[in-house]
């Protein structure tokens, strides 16, 4: 099966209110009060922001008394990321085992990447979170549009020891990275995120920009830690051997004790943080 363009792909849309919040947050001069008023219309979203602001993964130690306090405590970029992460599950047309795996993979990578970024200080934690969350988001569009083809992609990737991106290109004529880049562009995210996703597997481009290189390294390590921790299984095309870290620890300046401590933090944060979304 081959598709020469992405036009036939069913690109999921964010919920209307989530898109409104993202549009508002795209204004660099937006006030916390404007964001608060819009978020307050969405009770479940407001509750999530309050709960996450109090989650010690984000440094919480007391219950923020108001929604405004929670937004200020988290920061507008974190609020944007919470809006998107909270919407991820609703992007799937169905929620079978394959969809559940993709969702866990996206959330696990987001949480792990932000923890690694905080420990290495080589990337902004919110950049790491949203990059971890969305670098594989194109798989949502693929499984929604072609569920049987997606299962074949996953099976081939595991059997042949290849990446999902490579097998996806074979099966469909494009990589899920291209689909993911198109998704975030339609959602109104900055060009930098679109570029991160589109070029994620292109080492020649990534090494030219240090921040991008660090961010891709952080997200790649996050993926590997999720596999090692059992957060995701081989359905993403990565078997047990793939959980090896290679030279990522050296690249990010982490020693063995750092890696073990971060892995433990990732496992705890995922188990406690996932239900918040």
Q: What is the pLDDT along the chain (277 residues), one digit of tens a residue?
A: 555 567 778 888 899 989 999 999 989 899 999 999 999 999 999 999 988 888 755 555 555 568 998 999 899 999 999 999 999 889 999 999 899 999 999 999 999 999 999 999 999 999 999 999 999 999 999 999 999 899 999 889 888 888 888 888 888 888 899 999 999 999 888 899 999 999 999 888 998 999 999 999 999 999 999 988 988 764 444 433 334 567 888 889 999 999 999 999 999 999 988 988 8
- pLDDT on residue 40: 93
- Distance of alpha carbon 152 from the chain centroid: 23
Tens digit of each residue's pLDDT (9 = 90 or more) over 171-229: 888 889 999 999 999 988 889 999 999 999 988 899 899 999 999 999 999 999 998 89
Q: Which residue, among 217, 235, 226, 213, has the nearest Cα to 269 in the 3D structure?
A: 226
Residue 27 has φ and ψ, to the nearest 5°, of -80, 115
The domains located in the chain, with CATH, are: 14-91 (no CATH), 92-276 (1.10.3210.10)
DSSP 130-173: HHHHHTTTHHHHHHHH-HHHHHHHHHHHHHHT--HHHHHHHHHS
Structural contact between residues 101 and 113, judged by C-beta atoms closer than 8 angstroms? no
> What pTM did the predictor assign?
0.89
- pLDDT on residue 62: 59
- pLDDT on residue 234: 42
- pLDDT on residue 238: 44
């Amino acid at each position: 099966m081959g598709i020469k363009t992405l036009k036939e792909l069913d690109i999921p849309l964010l919920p209307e209110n989530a898109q409104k919040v993202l549009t508002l947050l795209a204004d660099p001069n937006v006030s916390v009060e404007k964001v608060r008023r819009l978020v307050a219309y969405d009770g479940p979203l407001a509750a999530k922001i309050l709960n996450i602001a109090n989650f010690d993964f984000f440094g919480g130690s007391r219950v923020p008394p108001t929604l405004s306090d929670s937004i200020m405590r988290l920061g507008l970029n974190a609020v944007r990321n919470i809006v998107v992460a909270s919407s991820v599950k609703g992007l799937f047309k169905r929620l079978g085992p394959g969809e559940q795996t993709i969702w866990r993979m996206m959330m696990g990578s987001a949480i792990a990447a932000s923890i690694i970024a905080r420990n290495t200080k080589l990337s902004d934690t919110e950049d790491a979170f949203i990059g971890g969350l969305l670098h594989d988001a194109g798989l949502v569009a693929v499984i929604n549009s072609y569920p049987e083809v997606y299962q074949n992609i996953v099976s081939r990737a595991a059997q042949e020891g290849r990446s999902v991106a490579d097998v996806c290109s074979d099966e469909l004529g494009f990589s899920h990275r291209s689909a993911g880049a198109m998704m975030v562009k339609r959602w109104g995210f900055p060009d930098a995120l679109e570029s991160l996703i589109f070029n994620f597997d292109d080492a020649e481009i990534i090494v030219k920009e240090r921040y991008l290189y660090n961010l891709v390294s952080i997200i790649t390590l996050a993926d590997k830690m999720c596999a090692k921790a059992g957060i995701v299984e081989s359905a993403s095309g990565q078997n047990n051997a793939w959980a090896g870290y290679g030279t990522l620890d050296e690249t990010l300046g982490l020693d063995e004790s750092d890696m073990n401590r971060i892995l433990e933090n990732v496992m705890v944060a995922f188990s406690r943080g996932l239900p918040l979304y």
